[in-house]
Amino acid sequence: MSDLSLESVFGANAGVVWRFLNSNGPTNIDGIVRATKLSRDLVFGALGWLGRENKIIMEKKGRAMVFSLREYEIQSEPVAVTTIEVATPRKQPIRRKFKAPKKTKKAGEIKPPAKNIESSAKQADRTEEFLLH
């Protein structure tokens, strides 16, 4: 089965997520991603598939969204797994924040702040001009 359709890929991933939720109960998205080893995007696709089939419940608990199977979907017996060859998802790279080192100025490059001192006559002229307008 080398030529997989879009439905079979999403359906297979939905089956993986369904079996995980059936055996482990309500879980947030990060728990599903870690346990199933599917990428976050594939898990979202599988959850969308299950949601479209009205098989899952989505609840907000605090800041997290928790996904669980509907009560009539839960089975006490493990479900037989049918094997469909699916391309293994690529492992997502770990994203690290890069902070560039701060550049320090050399003593010769530091300039003193410019002094903006006007003569008192010039200040008086500007004040008078301001008041006239």
CATH of the domain at 67: 1.10.10.10
Residue 130 belongs to some domain of the structure: no
Q: Could you tell me which residues are beta bridge partners of residue 27?
A: 67
Domain range for 21 is 6-73
Cβ(22)–Cβ(75) below 8 Å = yes
pTM over the 0.85 mark? no
Residue 100 lies inside a defined structural domain of this protein: no
Does residue 123 form part of some domain? no
Report the candidate in 71, 96, 4, 6 with the shortest Cα–Cα distance to residue 42: 6
48-81 residue pLDDT tens: 888 888 888 888 888 888 888 887 766 665 555 5
**CB contact at 8 A, 56 and 29:** no
pLDDT in tens, 89-121: 566 666 667 677 777 766 666 666 666 666 777
